[in-house]
Structure 1
Amino acid sequence: MSTNRSPVDPRLLRLAPPVRSLILRAGLAQALTTMLVLARGVLIGWGATRLIVERVFPWWVIPALVAVVAAHGAVSWVAQRWSSRGVGATIDSLRASSLEALRRRDPRVVQEQSAHWRTVLTRGLDDFRPYLSDFLPSLVAVVLATPAALLVVFLADPVSGVLALVTVPLIPVFMVLIGTLTRAQTRRRLQITAALGGQLADLLSGALTLRALGATDQPGREIEASGRRHENATMSVLRLAFLSSFALEFIATLSVALVAVGIGLRLIDGSLGLSAGLIALIVIPEVYQPIRQVGTNFHAAADGLAAVEEVLELIDAPSHQPPFTPQRREGVALEVSGLSVAGRDGTTPTDLSFRAEPGEVTVLHGPNGSGKSTAFLAVLGVLPKNLVHGQVVAPAPEAISYLPARPVLTPGTVKDNLVLLGAEPARAEAAAAAVGTGVPGDRILGAHGSGISAGQSQRLALARTLARGDGGPMLLLLDEPSAHLSPELVEHLGMLLRQYAAEGHAVVVASHDRRIAAAADKVVPL
């Protein structure tokens, strides 16, 4: 856990290069904005004084004010454009770096935490946008605008400048006190949101099965309880946000009022000139406004800060062990000798040896947790090297097509998902027809493949895997391909696998389904 408490985490500047240009551009825009705002205040104060005291209003003040206001609008527009581009580039950079860091980790651990990371890298980083687009520019404004406005007030009225200098530190003190309390609440809310998102995704994927079994009451109660926890956590954060906003606004308003009362009293007794008093009175809110805005924007970005802290810890973690790399060979045959893989639940598989030849269907048969999926991960070369013992001789990566136990579908049409792994459209359609996806190609899928049943999702992912390649022999690694399939479809799957083997493919299936094992040429028990 990071102990960083600075407004800008140094790791963000180091690990997300677009942030540096974002801050530089925000500084340039804020410097121009500050000069224009202060010029506007001085022009209004000086022009009003001439009108009141001398009954003459300088004609050139009006076009000067119009020019200042127009320039202010132009600078704001340019700053908004810069901000939009910089924020998008920063979020993209953080997501890409996070996915690369997750790729270097043990995929079994990542799979267990998939719901959490899905929430952090999607909604969590989206919640970080206000920090980049609002909080960072307001922080730059505190550094540039507040001292500049304070200097103008000192030049116009030193007494008001001293009062402002004394009261300004009160706002950051309260910001730190409330921000410390908010940090724990927002982290708790992020964890609850991630758990709820994962639970909803799992239930939606198996909703049709649960409904067919009549087992919908208990999941419904669990979702309701999780929703209440999410509601309570959200309300806690909102209460703190309202409390902090009230406290900061109250202190800032009281400080401005204190300065304004002093100016009014000295104007009455004649110890302060009208021009100096008006200029100080017009400019003094600009001393406090950036600090107030920092507090407001900080709480608007609090959820994103909790998420990005996890992302930075992930990216900045010490380098993990290099991946285990199988030996490569020509052809599509697979040979595994004495393979053992360590994990948090022990060593599975243990001393696994088998050979899968082209033209054969080889089934790794065993119960859940016996190491079937882990053996496939070793063949793919994605496990940390220090956890793998034994020898694996496998084809080149481009000759391997892999169906994971939990295949991923993306929003779009069925055709979009069929060619997601790079298959030619004609081959994808032929594979879909052979598997029988039961879904038309123009069917629209939502997030995580919602819109079709679990069985249809499984058949779609299987067709996508079988279609990969250029038509030549492949090593097909299929992890639980019969999941969610009806008995008649499992029988059809067995015949289809034998058909692909007859075409010269080496088919290796990880399954605990005895019906799949019965269709195999070779069964390897785990």
Structure 2
Amino acid sequence: MDSLFRQVRSARVSLGATVVLGILVAVATIAQMVFLSKVVDRVFLRGANLEGVSTLLLSMLGAVVVRAGLLWLREITAQQGAVRVKSELRERLFARVLRLGPAYTRGERTGELATTATEGVEKLEAYISRYLPQVFLSALVPLLIALYVLPLDWSSSVLLLITAPVIPILMVLVGSYAEEHLERQWSALSRLGASFVDALQGLPTLKVFGRSAEEREKIEAASEEFRERTMKVLRYAFISGFVLEFMTAMAIALVAVSLGIRLVSGDMPFEVAFLVLLLAPEFYKPLRELGVHRHAGMEGKAAAERIFEILETSVPVRAGAEAPGQLPGELTIKFSSVGYTYPGNEHGALSDLTLTLPAGTRTALVGRS
């Protein structure tokens, strides 16, 4: 996360705006549940007619509309922020590879770099727009609801706060194994992309020497490895989702049983009990959504590690290189016995190059690369 904010400054703005809108959605949800509990209490227990609850119904309708608008705005803000971050990261990645030059790309596989710049950057969309905001919302929204419930029913508020950590703990325990398989899946995808591009680049040579069948078998094996790892990741993701849903249902049931016992015994008014019961699923909802988006977050994290590894690779600087000052008038460039060898290479790329580039002319270098 720190590397993302350091490389892309706009990520902070989009993340902050998404989190603020998410908190406002939670406030609108609390208001909606408050109005709903009042309407149900007055209609079913006090026998109020439509005229008696019309104001509450209009207020509830307004809360629903505001909540829907805030949800739409949060979604748009998150998606636009992710698109900006992806675009800037892809430009930075491409510029960094160009600055690193052939000396760097010669030691890397072209297909792996292409997969990182395309599929790897795309995987960051869910990580930026879904997972990162949900990390903050899963801590702030439950705390906000618990603080609201505290003066109404302190025992339910304490019960919510006690049961809340169980979900993230189970998510980490179940998801840690899936995270390991996700990293292996990304490695398998990188190998598959590298093998495929290498095979396409060398296809004429493979045909000439009759080795295309063996290369096809290698690509088929890499594809099968990626399929198996993807199915393993999905299997553990489904198991993790099942565990989270089960524990959330148990926690809500525990709160409901506690409310029901006190309601029957006459220790709690119906309106308060119904309101707490309505807010209980909203309390656990951010934690459940965090578990849902964790899978996409782990995929984005695995891809981000490789992206930031390339972005943070230092560009080799030649000793004695200085930026030339601005020269007045027209400039004629002359090369006299110029040679150049890439770092780490024994053979020279240029040797004894002599030519003149007159001012105001265009010169084309033609021939085999």
Q: TM-score, normalised by structure 1?
A: 0.63
Instruction: Deviation per CA, 1:362-383: give whole Å up to 9, x if none.
Output: xxxxxxxxxxxxxxxxxxxxxx
Query: Match of 2:317, SS?
Result: coil
Offset at residue 257 of structure 1 (A): 0.9
TM-aligned CA distance change 1:246 to 1:64, over 3 Å: same
Aligned partner of residue 104 in structure 1, secondary structure = helix
Aligned residues: 358
Match of 2:328 in 1: none
Q: Is the 8 A contact 1:167 1:255 kept in 2?
A: yes
Distance in 2 of aligned mates of 1:247 and 1:28: 29
Match of 1:162 among 158, 162, 168: 158
Aligned position for 1:355: 353
Preserved contact between residue 116 and residue 191 of structure 1 (Cα < 8 Å): no
Q: Is the 8 A contact 1:156 1:279 kept in 2?
A: no
Higher RCO by CA contacts (8 Å cutoff, separation 6 or greater): 2
Q: Structure 2 stretches of 5 or more lacking a match?
A: 325-330
**Residue 27 in 1 paired to residue 19 in 2?**
yes
> Is the contact between residue 196 and residue 227 of structure 1 (CA under 8 Å) also seen in structure 2?
yes
> Equivalents in 2 of 1:295, 1:334: separation in Å?
65
Equivalent in 58, 62, 82 of residue 63 of structure 1: 58
Is the strand fraction higher in 1 or 2? 1
SS at match of 1:60: helix
**In structure 2, what is the Cα distance between the partners aligned to 1:334 and 1:242?**
67
Checking the alignment, whether the CA contact within 8 Å between 1:120 and 1:194 is kept in structure 2 is: yes
User: Tell me, which stretches of 5 or more residues in structure 1 are unaligned?
Assistant: 1-8, 359-394, 400-469, 482-509, 511-526
Q: State the shift of 1:334 in Å.
A: 5.5
Q: By how many angstroms is 1:163 displaced?
A: 1.3
Give the equivalent residue in structure 2 for 1:217.
Answer: 213
2:363 to 466, 474, 477: 474
2:282 corresponds to which letter in structure 1? E
The CA distance in 1 between the partners of 2:343 and 2:337, in whole Å, is 20
Closer/same/farther in 2, CA of residues 327 and 269 from structure 1, 3 Å limit: closer
Native 8 Å contact 2:160 2:255 kept in 1: yes
Structure 1 distance, partners of 2:57, 2:342, is: 79
Quote the residue 2:90 is aligned against. 95
Q: Are the counterparts in 1 of residues 175 and 237 from structure 2 also a CA contact under 8 Å?
A: no
Q: Distance in 1 between matches of 2:149 and 2:298?
A: 33
- RMSD (Å), alpha carbons: 2.7
Match of 2:137 in 1: 141
Q: Please tell me whether residue 237 in structure 1 is matched to residue 229 in structure 2.
A: no
Instruction: Give the 3 Å change call, closer, same or farther, for CA 333–126 of structure 1 in structure 2.
Output: same
- 1:322 match: secondary structure: coil
Q: Is the 8 A contact 2:120 2:307 kept in 1?
A: no
Shift of 1:209: 5.7
Q: 2:322, 2:268 → 1: CA distance?
A: 84
1:81 counterpart (76, 81, 86): 76
| Largest Rg, 1 or 2 | 1
Q: Percent identity?
A: 25
Kept in 2, the 8 Å contact 1:152–1:283? The answer is no
1:282 maps to 2:284: no
1:53 to 38, 45, 59: 45
Specify whether residues 77 and 208 from structure 1 end up closer, same or farther in structure 2 by C-alpha distance, changes over 3 A only.
same
Aligned residues of 1:34 and 1:144 also touching (Cα < 8 A): no
Q: Give the drift of 1:64.
A: 1.1
* CA–CA distance in structure 2, aligned partners of residues 250 and 473 of structure 1: 72
For residues 147 and 111 of structure 1, what CA distance do their matches in structure 2 show?
52
- In structure 1, distance between residues paired with 2:76 and 2:209: 54
After superposition, give the CA deviation of every residue in 1:290-317 in whole Å (9 maximum; x if it has no partner): 0110111111232221111222233344
SS of residue paired to 1:301 = helix
Distance 1:148 1:341 in 2: 59
- 2:262 alignment counterpart: 266
Specify which structure has the higher proportion of helix.
2
Deviation at 1:340, TM superposition (A): 4.9
Inter-CA distance 202–314: structure 2 relative to 1 (3 Å threshold) = closer
State the match for 1:189 in structure 2. 185
Question: Which residue type is aligned with residue 167 of structure 1?
Answer: T
Higher mean displacement: 191-200 or 91-100: 91-100
Structure 2 CA distance for aligned equivalents of residues 53 and 161 of structure 1: 25
More displaced 10-residue stretch of structure 1: 248-257 or 130-139: 130-139
Partner of 1:304: 300
Give, in angstroms, the shift of residue 333 of structure 1: 4.5
Letter aligned with residue 330 of structure 1: T
Q: Secondary structure at the match of 1:192?
A: helix
Correspondence for 2:111: 115
The answer to whether the 8 Å contact 2:111/2:196 transfers is: no
The code of the aligned residue for 1:474 comes to T
